[in-house]
Amino acid sequence: MDDFDLDHDLGLDLIPAPLSVRAVPPSGRYVLDEETRIEARPGTEGVARWLRATVGAATGLPLDPGDDDDNRIVLAVDPALGRRLGPEGYRLVVDGHAVRVDGGGSAGVFWGAQTLRQLLGPAAFRRAPIGSGTAWELPMVAIEDAPRFVWRGVLLDVARHFLPKDGVLRYLDLLAAHKLNVLHLHLTDDQGWRMEVHRYPELTRTGAWRARTKLGHRASPLWDERPHGGYYTQDDLREIVAYAAERHITVVPEIDLPGHSQAAIAAYPELGNTDVVDTAALTVWDTWGISPNVLAPTDHTLAFYENVLTEVLDVFPSPFVHIGGDECPKDQWKASPAARARMAAEGLADEDELQSWFIRHFDRWLADRGRRMAGWDEILEGGLAGLAGLSEGATVSSWRGCAGGIAAARAGHDVVMCPEQQVYLDHRQAPGADEPVPIGYVRTLEDVYRFDPVPAELTETEAARILGAQANLWTEVMEDQRRLDYQAFPRLAAFAETVWSPLPAPAARDHPSFERRMAAHYARLDALGVDYRPPGGPHPWQRRPGVLGRPIEGAPPIV
């Protein structure tokens, strides 16, 4: 951290901030030109492809393969560096002879290449050259860097508002530019089912479309009367997964159960509690909040979702599969003779234990197939399951605060911290009437910068269970890519630094230094075409006057 001022003195303004930066002799600049070659040693071929496709496109330089002169970028995997900094660590050295990017693994080389791109300036983030007079110069520096956490994630909710495939691919590029390495793809909810399932075509034929959409918070009187929907074919999702893998990003799918399932029930009414409600009359939900229509605890439902998850496992190689497990109203189960019979047969004391029975079933099912279940912190609850009933590999996404993550870590489970009070980026960015559809607490750029995923009360052993953190983008009031950009940026840049860089305690962080570096980073976002919230407040076209939100006043509680 002592090198941050040097970072600024050298004019680097890197985000996220690296572990160490130092100047190296000779003084001056290293110029990339038409003769610059890329020497890609074993394990770095994908990084070379990425450099040619991005930096090559922006600069107009061919960056041909070559290893026979000094004018080259050398990409290499260094096992010794990996032992010291881990597989995502890297060393970037620019001296008078070459540019060297060494990584502890191929991922480390890729993150070093991302830093190299930042060093070239904002124009390196464009898709084509903007002028023949640009000099592509690098400072003479040595940078060593490695991430603080192995899980540096973003949740993208494509169920509430569908984001076409190209938009997902674009967001993968934005994640990679910020050294974020997990995309949690929220594929199903009450308002839409977004993954093609060959065995059950009605999931997308019916479940992917709703007749209209609530505009703003659910208390709003406004409606968008246009049908809304869309879905990804399995080949679309394989493309997304492959595109992510080339950028060392893992795509974690989420298939919600037993709540947040009205779209599935609308497609296949027998999945619902048919002895309580007329499930055949249900449609894909067109408003927000928590639907009372939940899955029936039947053998048919279990088999149905096992078949769905079999196709999910075929498409997504991620070690983790998220099954939701949150916000499941119990009213229908309480009124259902079939649910009561299931509880009696399984020896379950109440409906909370019935929800845990659902979770535990799919936890075991995934574990038997070599995968790890992830779920929201409600999976910790409910008698028979709770912490004791979860498999060793079950991982908790702590969203209602930090308490669930603390309990899980103390019980020996891995945790991803994503407390809504701190890193739900659908929450508003400032007080005042200009913020579009204001939701939740005010979470400024500085607030996010001072977020720390590791609660102070954890011991060192317990803290080692914190895999990292995740910023969540729930899209009820984000109807398109521009709204998504506005809510995500610039705060996602601050979040990226909190999960990558070895920052001091939140109160001791140098926010003015971060703001200074952000001044340069805004130019990168401009070059990338990101419609971020400006530091001075929204542009007129970013506002949504008259669309009701749900602001919460005061400081968010620490829970």
pLDDT digits (tens, 9 = 90+) for 301-351: 999 999 999 999 999 999 999 999 999 999 999 999 999 999 999 999 999
Collapsed DSSP state (helix, strand, coil) of residue 7: helix
Predicted confidence (pLDDT) per residue in 32-84, tens digit: 999 999 999 999 999 999 999 999 999 999 999 998 778 999 999 999 999 99
What percent of the chain stands above pLDDT 70? Answer: 97
Distance CA 428, CA 371 (A): 36
Q: Residue 16: is the preceding peptide bond cis (ω within 30°)?
A: yes
Predicted confidence (pLDDT) per residue in 356-395, tens digit: 999 999 999 999 999 999 999 999 987 544 556 788 899 9
**What backbone torsions phi and psi does residue 346 show, to the nearest 5 degrees?**
-95, 0
Beta bridge partners of 100: 74, 93
**What backbone torsions phi and psi does residue 114 show, to the nearest 5 degrees?**
-65, -40
Confidence (pLDDT) at 220: 96
Q: Is the pLDDT of residue 3 over 80?
A: no
CB distance 176 to 251 below 8 Å: no
In sequence order, what are the residues at sequence separation of 6 or more whose Cβ sits closer than 8 angstroms to the Cβ of residue 417? 398, 402, 405, 423, 453, 454, 466, 468, 469, 470
Q: Is the pLDDT of residue 354 over 90?
A: yes
Q: Is the pLDDT of residue 249 over 70?
A: yes
What percent of the chain stands above pLDDT 90? Answer: 92
Predicted confidence (pLDDT) per residue in 435-487, tens digit: 999 999 999 999 999 999 999 999 999 999 999 999 999 999 999 999 999 99
Q: Is the pLDDT of residue 101 over 90?
A: yes
Dihedral-angle region of residue 192 (phi above 0 means left; psi in -120 to 50 means alpha; beta otherwise): left
- Of 26-40, 145-159, 489-503, the one with minimum mean pLDDT is 26-40
Residues labelled catalytic: 189, 260, 327
Pure H helices in 165-275: 165-177, 202-205, 234-246, 262-267
Cα distances from 153 to residues 355, 416, 471, in angstroms, run 27, 9, 6
Confidence (pLDDT) at 68: 73
Confidence (pLDDT) at 168: 98
